[in-house]
């Protein structure tokens, strides 16, 4: 923590921090004045309720006067603090009047503690409690620049000396009392500067974090816009290459040319998949609108499974096991179909031929759980924590050489979160993986 014992805050944070702590000081003055007012009202009530023989108040005529002064002055400080707080909320800027007001209240509170010690005994070094408490309260509640603290200490010391002279203290006793006061004021200075440094460092750290977050948000927004723009603009040239390859196939070509065309078309498909993933990722991050409708999950899962079964190159068995029927949830069909399609596609990609893929739908409490379970390669423990992050090293080719864009599971997680759900994974190398999607139930009203 940077110490500011004999210096102010400098640089870009100087004015901002002054505005911040001025608002805090005004709020502290309002609270302090209320507390001090209540304490004095209670003391006045006790003075009226209990007999003089118990309170011995007749021995302290100054008490009666100062108590009324404390009540009236505290009420005045409370009213003025409310007016200045309203003004500060409108402008969010500190003014000299606000600083002077806080300074006056602090000096007033110190004087109250000091004078109360003199009322208790003419030798305050024997009754330091109230004086000490007032100094500690001010050092903790209010934040001052170092020169303001020095002015406050000088004013307090002059008042203390005046009270000593007023009470006709003998020279030896005056020296002792002055030493006690100086020790207290030095402690007051050090504690005040410590709290100034602590609060200043905390405030600067919070603002630096806020600025970094804004930079990250701007960078993320720019990245998403750039991804969307680039991906969209790449579609046309890739489509042109794919169309050219298809037109060339219409002519009589030899086997070597056909292999080249097949490679071109496969590359176009792969590029188009990457572009679709980039666009989907950008849309998920930027889209504010997310429309859902009440959907029966058994029907949705069956439709996805049937779409996979009609593909010619699928040899694995995909089976739906439903333990909840009917099962209704709020679903965005276009987005959530991509979730199921991606999870089934990954299960097939990393499973051996003629293996079994299970889609299990169940209910737990007020949530539906969709599990996509395979008996494939599994995922190592070091990759489980990062598989939902985009562009990580967790991506790997499938058993047939299928390439990964590194975005699929990241997109899946984004979509599931937008459904107010969650996604989990359990896996063991060599035994398979289970992806678990948790969705809130949609109860019919």
Per-residue pLDDT of 94-148, as tens digits, reads: 899 999 999 999 999 888 888 777 765 545 554 567 788 888 888 888 888 888 8
pLDDT of 362 strictly over 60 = yes
**How far, in Å, CA of 445 to CA of 431, rounded?**
43
Q: Phi and psi dihedrals of 27, rounded to 5?
A: -65, -40
Which of 18-27, 96-105, 247-256, 351-360 is predicted with the least confidence, judged by mean pLDDT? Answer: 247-256
Q: What average pLDDT does the segment 363-388 reach?
A: 88
pLDDT at residue 145, as a whole number: 86
Mean pLDDT, residues 257-283 taken together: 75
**pLDDT value of residue 85:** 93
Peptide bond just before 326 cis, omega within 30 deg: yes
Question: Does the pLDDT of residue 411 top 90, yes or no?
Answer: no
> Under 8 Å CB-to-CB from 325, ≥6 apart: which residues?
298, 361
Residue in the block written with tokens 């000299």:
96
User: Which carries the bigger pLDDT value, residue 227 or residue 70?
Assistant: 70
What is the share, in percent, of the chain residues with pLDDT greater than 90? 24
Q: Which residue would you say has higher pLDDT here, 264 or 168?
A: 264
What pLDDT is recorded for position 1?
A: 53
Q: Which residue has the higher pLDDT, 223 or 80?
A: 80
Q: Using the predicted structure, report yes or no on whether residue 277 has a pLDDT greater than 90.
A: no
Asked if 429 and 396 touch (Cβ cutoff 8 Å), the reply is no
The upper half-sphere exposure of residue 355, i.e. CA atoms within 13 Å in the direction of its Cβ, equals 18
* Confidence band for 369, pLDDT divided at 50, 70 and 90: very high
Q: What's residue 103's pLDDT?
A: 92
pLDDT for the residue 328: 93
Average pLDDT, the chain: 82
3 state DSSP class of 415:
helix
| Confidence bin at 242 (pLDDT 50/70/90) | confident
Report, as an integer, the average pLDDT of 2-13.
Answer: 68
Burial (Cβ within 10 Å: 0-12, 13-18, ≥19) of residue 138: buried
Report pLDDT for 285. 59
The residue that leads in pLDDT, 398 or 159, is 159
Exposed/middle/buried for residue 430 (C-beta within 10 Å: 0-12, 13-18, 19+): exposed
Is 80 exceeded by the pLDDT of residue 69?
yes
* pLDDT score, position 228: 66
Q: Return the higher-pLDDT residue of 439 and 215.
A: 439
Q: Check pLDDT > 60 for residue 445.
A: no
The percentage of the chain sitting over the pLDDT mark of 70, rounded to a whole number, equals 84
Question: Residue 25: what pLDDT?
Answer: 92
- At residue 195 the predicted structure's pLDDT band, cuts being 50, 70 and 90, is confident
Distance CA 106, CA 77 (A): 11
Banded pLDDT at 60 (limits 50, 70, 90) = low
Query: What would the mean pLDDT of 346-371 be, rounded to a whole number?
Result: 89
């Amino acid at each position: 923590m940077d110490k500011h014992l004999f210096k102010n805050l400098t640089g870009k944070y100087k004015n901002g921090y002054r505005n911040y702590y001025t608002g805090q000081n005004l709020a502290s003055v309002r609270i302090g004045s209320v507390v001090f007012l209540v304490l004095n009202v209670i003391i006045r009530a006790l003075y009226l309720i209990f007999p003089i023989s118990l309170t011995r108040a007749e021995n302290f005529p100054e008490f009666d006067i100062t108590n009324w002064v404390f009540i009236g002055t505290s009420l005045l400080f409370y009213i003025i603090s409310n007016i200045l707080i309203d003004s500060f909320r409108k402008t969010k800027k500190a003014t000299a009047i606000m600083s002077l007001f806080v300074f006056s209240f602090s000096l007033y509170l110190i004087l109250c503690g000091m004078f109360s010690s003199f009322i208790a005994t003419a030798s305050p070094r024997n009754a330091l409690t109230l004086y000490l408490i007032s100094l500690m309260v001010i050092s903790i509640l209010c934040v001052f620049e170092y020169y303001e603290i020095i002015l406050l200490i000088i004013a307090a010391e002059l008042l203390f000396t005046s009270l000593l002279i007023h009470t006709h203290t003998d020279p030896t006793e005056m020296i002792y009392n002055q030493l006690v006061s100086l020790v207290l004021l030095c402690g007051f200075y050090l504690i005040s500067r410590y709290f100034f440094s602590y609060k200043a460092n905390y405030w600067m750290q919070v603002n630096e974090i806020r600025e970094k977050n804004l930079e990250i948000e701007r960078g993320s927004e720019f990245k998403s816009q750039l991804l969307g723009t680039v991906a969209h603009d790449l579609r046309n040239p890739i489509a042109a290459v794919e169309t050219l390859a298809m037109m060339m196939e219409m002519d009589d070509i030899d086997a070597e040319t056909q292999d080249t065309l097949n490679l071109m078309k496969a590359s176009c498909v792969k590029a188009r998949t990457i572009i679709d993933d980039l666009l989907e990722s950008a849309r998920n991050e930027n889209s504010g609108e997310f429309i859902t409708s009440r959907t029966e999950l058994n029907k949705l899962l069956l439709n996805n499974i049937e779409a996979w079964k009609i593909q010619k190159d699928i040899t694995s068995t995909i089976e739906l096991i439903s333990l909840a029927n009917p099962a209704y949830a709020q679903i965005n069909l276009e987005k959530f179909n991509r979730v199921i399609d991606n999870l089934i596609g990954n299960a097939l990609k990393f499973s051996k031929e003629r293996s079994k893929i299970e889609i299990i739908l169940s209910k737990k409490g007020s949530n539906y759980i969709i599990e996509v379970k395979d008996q494939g390669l599994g995922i190592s423990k070091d990759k489980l924590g990062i598989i939902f992050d985009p562009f990580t090293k967790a991506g790997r080719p499938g058993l047939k050489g299928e390439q990964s864009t590194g975005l699929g599971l990241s997109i899946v997680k984004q979509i599931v979160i937008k459904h107010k759900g969650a996604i989990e994974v359990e896996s063991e190398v060599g035994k398979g993986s289970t992806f678990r999607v948790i969705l809130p139930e949609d109860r019919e009203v």
